[in-house]
């Protein structure tokens, strides 16, 4: 619904569309309405940043992100491949192996006036992350370090997905 509402308003053409935050109280009210199964009409929301903030919040709060924890290490390893073509081939192989619901959601990327690297910076923390809060305090601290250390690779992965959208998500997966 959020993606459709942004597209309907031609918000995708707005400079920095996903960079700005909407009113957190309004986003919170909309989240509660969605979580309670209420009918939500996003066409009545005046601030497009509320809608984009709601979408980012949804991705951020998934228990298992769109790039699932189970394949996190494989995606990070693929982003470390130096050869660009080889990196993309490995990335496509991994994407094709994702569960259908994860694969289809990632196909929603659209062109806007934000550079691909900026979109990657905005969305990487919500689409790929290490499992958090599992194990003892030392393990949790190590996971936090791994997440920060891998942030450039998170960004590189998402940027590659945006840049090569047509090739990576060519519709070959049912």
Domain ranges of the chain: 1-61, 64-174
- Confidence label for 162 from pLDDT (cuts 50, 70 and 90): confident
CATH architecture of the domain with residue range 64-174: Orthogonal Bundle (1.10)
The tens digit of pLDDT for each residue in 77-119 reads 999 999 999 999 999 999 888 877 666 554 453 444 566 777 7
Distance CA 114, CA 109 (A): 12
Distance CA 108, CA 2 (A): 11
Cβ count near 170 (within 10 Å)? 11
The tens digit of pLDDT for each residue in 124-153 reads 888 888 776 544 445 444 555 556 788 888
Question: Bigger pLDDT: 144 or 9?
Answer: 9
pTM: 0.68
Distance CA 148, CA 142 (A): 10
Q: Which of 2, 166, 161 is nearest to 91 (CA)?
A: 161
Residue 50 contacts residue 26 (beta carbons within 8 Å)? yes
Q: What number of CA atoms fall less than 13 Å from residue 164's CA on the CB side? A: 16
């Amino acid at each position: 619904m959020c993606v459709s509402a942004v597209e309907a308003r031609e918000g995708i053409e707005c400079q920095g569309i996903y960079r700005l935050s909407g009113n957190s109280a309004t986003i919170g009210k909309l989240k509660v309405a969605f979580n309670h199964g209420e009918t939500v009409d996003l066409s009545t929301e005046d601030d497009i940043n509320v809608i984009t903030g709601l979408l980012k919040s949804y991705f951020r709060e998934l228990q298992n992100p769109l790039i699932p924890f189970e394949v996190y290490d494989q995606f990070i390893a693929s982003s470390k491949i130096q050869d660009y073509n080889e990196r993309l081939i490995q990335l496509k192989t991994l994407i094709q192996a994702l569960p259908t619901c994860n694969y289809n959601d990632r196909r929603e990327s659209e062109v806007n006036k934000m550079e691909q690297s900026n979109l990657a910076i905005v969305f990487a923390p919500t689409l790929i992350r290490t499992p958090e809060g599992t194990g003892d305090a030392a393990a949790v601290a190590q996971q936090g370090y791994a997440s920060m250390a891998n942030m450039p690779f998170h960004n590189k992965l998402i940027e590659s997905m945006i840049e090569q959208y047509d090739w990576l998500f060519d519709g070959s997966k049912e």
